[in-house]
Amino acid sequence: MINFAERISVPHPPTIVWSVLSDPDKVVTCIDGSRIDEHHPDGSFDAFLAVKFAGIKVGFKALATLRLDDAAMTGRLDGKGGDGRGSTRVEGSADYAVVADGDGSMVTLDGGAEVKGALAGLVSTGATLVVARMAKSFGQKLIATCDAIAAEQRA
C-alpha cells in the first residue's frame, strides 16, 4: 500500500482554491501527465495519468468518482484502473480539504493506493519520491491557476 499525506500552502482565499479543487477539469490541468477522457452521466469520469518511475514512464487509465461537500470544502476521489497492457492494477482514494490559513489557504491531501501486478514492485519502490515530486508540481500549478482566477476577478 502506498500512502501519502501532503499539505500545500496557497496564497489565496479558500473560495478561490475550492473553485479549482471542486472542478475535475481544472484539477487535471494542475497534474502533469493527466487528462480526463470522458465524463459519464452518473458523475464518474475516465481519467488518465502518466507517471515516471526511475526512467520508465507508465500510463494508467482509471474510472474515477468524486464526492464533494461544498459547504465544508472537502472532497474524496476514488479510482480504480490499470496500465495500458493490463498487467498492473491500481485502486486508490484521496481525501482533501481546503481550510483558511492566515490570508491564504491550506490544502490537505491524504490518501493511498494499492498496486498489484507486474509493475507493483517498481511503483511501490519509487512511490515516495514520485509522490513528493508530483505534490510539489501540483502545488505550483494550483497556485498559478488560482493566480489567474484572482487576476480575472480583479479585472
Q: Which residue has the cell 486508490?
A: 92
Domain at 2-154: CATH code: 3.30.530.20
> d(Cα 12, Cα 15) in Å, to the nearest integer?
8
Cell representation of residue 131: 509522490
Q: Which residues contact 96 (CB under 8 A, 6 or more apart)?
A: 21, 74, 75, 76, 77, 107, 108, 109, 110
pLDDT digits (tens, 9 = 90+) for 107-130: 999 999 888 887 677 666 667 778
Cα–Cα distances in Å, from 51 out to 82, 109, 129, 130? Answer: 12, 18, 12, 8
pTM of the model: 0.89
The whole-number pLDDT of residue 126 equals 67
Measured in degrees and rounded to the nearest 5, phi and psi for residue 122 equal -60, -45
pLDDT confidence band for 74 (50 / 70 / 90): very high
The strand pairing partners of 93, in sequence order, are 78, 112
Q: Are 138 and 31 in contact (CB under 8 A)?
A: yes
What does residue 12 show for φ and ψ, rounded to 5 degrees? -140, 155
Domains of the chain by residue range: 2-154
Reported as a single tens digit per residue, the pLDDT across 79-112 is 999 887 778 888 999 999 999 999 999 999 999 9
Each residue's pLDDT tens digit, 26-49:
999 999 889 999 999 999 999 998
**Mean pLDDT, the chain, integer:** 90
Which of 48, 26, 23, 21 minimizes the C-alpha distance to 37?
Answer: 48
Query: What pLDDT shows up at residue 56?
Result: 74
pLDDT at 10 over 80: yes
Structure confidence at residue 54 (pLDDT):
67
Q: Identify the pLDDT of residue 37.
A: 95
